[in-house]
Amino acid sequence: MKKTYHGSTFYIEQETRKEYTFEMAHRAPGVRLILPDGKKNILLNKEYRKELNAWDYRLPGGKVFDSLDEYLACDKKLIKNKAKQAGIKEAREEQGIEVEDLDLFDLLHCGATVEWDLYYFVVKKYKKKSIGQSLEADEQIKISSISFTNAMKLCLEGKIHEGRSASILMRYLNLQKKLLS
């Protein structure tokens, strides 16, 4: 594979095979948080998304690395730990909480031609901070505590537009339903 493009978010590799050119896009990983709020609610972000020109429900989260170059320079054995640290940071900024304990729930890969991993952590223990959110200048995020039932409806009705996150959230909610039965 030959690198044909290197930007600030993606790099692209190409390989010519018999009758076609195969391309692979690479992006630094992201992190998402599943934040239980008691035994029957979950904390979600209600976030204004420019790409949708609308409000969207989302799992809190963000980037693991601030740049593609930082990701490429990182020892790949350290990425899970970096994702955990990024999750703790995002919880503080977006939800105004201090994470005390979290576990990896799943790691989802994007697909055959796009490498963009998302690390999903369940926050097992946290403290609410008195100072609240610390959002970036262009972020508009409202914290929403939503029942498991309504969170499942948001997933099924397409009101959580990030499909990978909706599928992970449905799996988590289904698991909780079984545990509470």
DSSP assignment string, 42-73: EEEEEEEETTTTEEEEE-SEEESSSSHHHHHH
Mind listing the pLDDT tens digit for each residue in 133-148? Answer: 999 889 999 999 999 9
Between 58 and 19, the higher pLDDT residue: 58
**97: domain CATH number?**
3.90.79.10
Per the structure, the count of domains in the chain is 1
Residues 11 and 114 sit within 8 Å (Cβ to Cβ): no
pLDDT confidence band for 128 (50 / 70 / 90): confident
For residues 91 and 97, give the distance between their C-alpha atoms in angstroms, rounded to a whole number: 6
The pairs formed by 51-54 with CB atoms below 8 angstroms and a separation of 24 or more are: 52/161
Domain residue limits at 164: 2-180
pLDDT confidence band for 7 (50 / 70 / 90): very high
What pTM, to 2 d.p., does this model score?
A: 0.94
Q: What is the pLDDT of residue 132?
A: 86
Mind listing the pLDDT tens digit for each residue in 85-123? Answer: 999 999 999 999 999 999 999 999 988 899 999 999 999
Mind listing the pLDDT tens digit for each residue in 166-175? Answer: 999 999 999 9
Directed axis angle between helix 148-156 and helix 163-180, to 10°?
150
